[in-house]
Amino acid sequence: MATGNQHSEVIDLVAHERGLPPERLHLSDRLLHDLGMDGDDAVDFFNSVHEQFGTDLTHLHEHWSEHFGPESFSFWYGLIIILAAVIGGAVAGMTGLSSFWGFVIVVALLAAALWAIQRWRPPDRTIPITVGEVAAAIEAGAWPDRPER
């Protein structure tokens, strides 16, 4: 098991990467689900883990997509934003409403779209990684082939 000193070092590293005070972090915090670490942020974090501790992360990289998603702005989100802006502008223009009310319509459409996406998207199937699991991998010197759950 990782030592108290390594726990502290891992928490300090996570705090630095996320811009959070170390006292707000716990070993049970999940990198993606609790701390919002995904895509490039996760890559940068695990590069730092490897550089600072020399931990072999081969097994993690082999199963990366099971734990993290890509860092990108979805084409579909962009399309939703454009459609909301066009519809909001068109409604405001056709009804003689001010730009302010056109903006309000756009925001309402975006809120409705985000609600619908949250409600009907497929369930999240990512396997969480906790700060404690990172500390255990550092202590072991390598990421396990399959972390114990």
Q: What is the pLDDT of residue 51?
A: 94
Q: What is the pLDDT of residue 148?
A: 55
Q: Is 142 helix (H, G, I), strand (E, B) or coil?
A: strand
Q: Which of 130, 127, 129 has its CA nearest to residue 25?
A: 130
Per-residue pLDDT for 120 more than 70?
Answer: yes
> What are the tens digits of pLDDT across the range 124-137?
678 899 999 999 99
Q: Give the up-direction half-sphere exposure of residue 92: CA atoms within 13 A in the CB hemisphere.
A: 17
Q: How far apart are CA 50 and CA 41, in angstroms?
A: 14
Per-domain boundaries in the chain: 4-69+126-140, 75-120
**Domain 4-69+126-140 -> CATH class:** mainly alpha
Q: Confidence band (pLDDT; 50, 70, 90) for 75?
A: confident
Q: What percent of the chain has pLDDT over 70?
A: 90
Mean confidence (pLDDT) of the chain: 86
Q: What is the average per-residue pLDDT within 102-112?
A: 91
Q: Confidence band (pLDDT; 50, 70, 90) for 77?
A: confident
Q: Would you put residue 138 in left (φ > 0), alpha (ψ -120 to 50) or beta?
A: alpha
Q: What is the average per-residue pLDDT within 50-71?
A: 88
Query: Under a CB-based contact definition with an 8 Å cutoff, are residues 102 and 93 in contact?
Result: yes
Q: How far apart are CA 94 and CA 148, in angstroms?
A: 60
pTM of the predicted model, to two decimals?
0.67
